[in-house]
Structure formats: structure tokens, C-alpha cells
Amino acid sequence: MRAGADPLAPLIAFARHLRDPAHSPPPAGMAAERLALYRELFLRNIESLLAGNFPVCRRLLGEAGFRALVEGFFAKHRCLTPYFPRLAEEFLLFLGQREGTPEWLRELAHYEWVELALAMDPTELSSVKAVAGDPFSGAPVANPVSCVLCYRWPVHRLSSPPEQEEPPGPPTYLLVLRGRDDRVRFHEVAPWTAALLERIREHPGASGRDHLLALAEVLRQPTPAFLAMGRPALESLVSCEALLGVVPAEGGSSTELSANC
């Protein structure tokens, strides 16, 4: 090696060629057959990992379509993490930045990624301070390993690539959570239920009744009917573990409906 030469230059040239052989010349002294074999091994490993993270995307795109997407990711995207479990997040960033990616594919990929993200979340639900109780009179405690997602496309029902450019209906709201058994579950919810869950997160000390009263005012709904509809909804959210229990409500909200409600 001549004086002043970068000792890493051959390795960098090797990596660049493996990533994008069409635009990066091969390093000197290496057979083309060997380089092609190395590249195929790298691509297969990445494709296998991403196919496990995004099985529905792969099925809808087909093997050739998904392989082309992985090749583009391998060639163009610069990952910011050295950890393989976070490669799915990098792939999601790639799809968001890639020109021409259809909206339904970006949303479907995000939907599939969320399951992995919640499964990897280190939060232990056993550490959450909450007890069994009435989520209407007490202050309901939201599951910290959960989120409410809103998609323009019905990503949980896609069975083939959409032919139309615009979504077929109103937005889809999905509640995603990891339960006490460590399984990740998805539930389709009404927009007002999504709003209720967001409010519970933002105002953790309020009773379920107070949340419903505030939401009824925002949505301009008749208060008695909304409370009657909301009480079993709160109980259902406890049953599916979107709510993990209750703590005492600030101000000691009453369980009884007032005559003016």
C-alpha cells in the first residue's frame, strides 16, 4: 500500500459495490462471481428479516416486487442504527422518503411495524400502578404499551393491492396494544372511542365520567345518551386491556348521574 493511502478504501469500495453495483465499480482484484455471491448473501439476509417484519406487504407485492423494494433499500438507504431488530424502522423511513411509494403501502408497512415496536417496548405492565375498579367513577389508567392509529386506508383488511388511487371510505381507527400475556392485539374502534383514549392519556387524573362529559361537549352529543353509551365502552376497554385499572379520581367524581346530565 502506498504511503498516505486510506487503509479502509478497499473495504469502502467493496461495500459500495455490494450495495449498488450499477453505480459503484468493483474493488480491484476480486472476481465478479465472488462479488455477486457476497451481494446475494447480504440481500437474502436482509430480505428474509424484512419479510418476517412485513409479511403482508411482501404477499401483496409478490416476491419480485418485494425483492425490488429490498434492493432499493439496500442500495439507497443509509441506516442510522447498527441493530438488526431496528432494521424494520429504517425500512419504514425508506418507504416514507422513497418517491412513488403508494400511500396504502406506507400505511400498511407502518401498521405491520407497530406490532414489532410494541413487542420490543421494554415497559413492564406489572409496574403500572392501577387496581381493579369502576372506570366510570375512578380515574382509568391507560395501557402504556398501546397506541391509537388513524389510517386513510383500511390496512387491516387489505387482501390485494388497491386498484383505485383514493381510499374506499372514511379513515380507519385502530387500537393496538400489548396485553399482560405479552401478545400484541389490534382492535378497530370508533373515532369517538379513539378520542376517549387520547383524552384518558392526556388527563390521567380525571374520572371516566368526567372524560365522557368533556367529550360529549366537544362532539356536541346529548349528555345522558353519551354517558349511557360511554360507560359500557369504558368497561370494554378494560376487558381488552386498553385500560389496566383505575386510581382514585381527582376531586372524587360521583358514580351517579346527576339530574342535569
Q: Is the dihedral of CA 246, 249, 252, 256 positive or negative?
A: negative
> Tens digits of per-residue pLDDT, 110-122?
999 999 999 999 9
Q: Same domain, yes or no, for 137 and 203?
A: yes
| Count of the separate structural domains present in the chain | 2
Cα–Cα distance, 242 to 239 (Å, whole number): 8
Q: Is the pLDDT of residue 99 over 50?
A: yes
pLDDT for residue 33: 78
pLDDT for residue 49: 92
Cα–Cα distance, 20 to 71 (Å, whole number): 9
Q: At what angle do helices 87-97 and 32-53 cross, to 10 degrees?
A: 90
Comparing 3 with 183, which gets the higher pLDDT? 183
Q: What average pLDDT does the structure give for the chain?
A: 88
Average pLDDT over residues 43-69: 94
- CA nearest to 208, candidates 239, 175, 237: 237
- CA nearest to 33, candidates 75, 41, 261: 41
Q: Is the pLDDT of residue 259 over 50?
A: no
- CA nearest to 135, candidates 189, 212, 222, 215: 212
Q: Is residue 5 part of a domain?
A: no
Name the residue range of residue 220's domain: 125-247
Q: Is the dihedral of CA 150, 154, 159, 161 positive or negative?
A: negative
Q: Same domain, yes or no, for 90 and 141?
A: no
CATH code: domain of residue 144: 3.90.930.50
pLDDT for residue 75: 83
Q: Same domain, yes or no, for 78 and 187?
A: no
Q: Is residue 120 part of a domain?
A: no
Average pLDDT over residues 149-175: 94
pLDDT for residue 260: 27
Q: Same domain, yes or no, for 21 and 86?
A: yes
Q: Same domain, yes or no, for 140 and 87?
A: no
pLDDT for residue 6: 67
Q: Same domain, yes or no, for 132 and 199?
A: yes
Q: Same domain, yes or no, for 215 and 132?
A: yes
Q: Same domain, yes or no, for 35 and 76?
A: yes
Q: Is residue 200 part of a domain?
A: yes
Q: Same domain, yes or no, for 19 and 55?
A: yes
pTM: 0.84
Q: Same domain, yes or no, for 136 and 181?
A: yes
Q: Is residue 107 part of a domain?
A: no
pLDDT for residue 14: 72
Q: Is residue 117 part of a domain?
A: no
Q: Any residues with CB less than 8 A from the CB of 217 and at least 6 apart, and which?
A: none
pLDDT for residue 254: 38
Confidence of residue 256 (pLDDT cuts 50, 70, 90): very low
Q: What order of strands is seen across the sheet that includes strand 184-188?
A: 146-151, 172-178, 184-188
Average pLDDT over residues 95-108: 95
Q: Same domain, yes or no, for 162 and 93?
A: no
Average pLDDT over residues 97-101: 92
Q: Is the pLDDT of residue 253 over 60?
A: no
Average pLDDT over residues 60-78: 91
What letter would DSSP give residue 26?
P
pLDDT for residue 53: 95
pLDDT for residue 151: 97
Q: Is residue 115 part of a domain?
A: no
What letter would DSSP give residue 234?
H
- Residue 157 corresponds to which cell in the numbers above? 383488511
Q: Is residue 72 part of a domain?
A: yes
Cα–Cα distance, 229 to 227 (Å, whole number): 5
CA atoms within 13 A on the CB side of 169: 5
Q: Is the pLDDT of residue 10 over 70?
A: no
Q: Is the pLDDT of residue 48 over 60?
A: yes
pLDDT for residue 78: 83
Q: Is residue 110 part of a domain?
A: no
Q: Same domain, yes or no, for 148 and 239?
A: yes
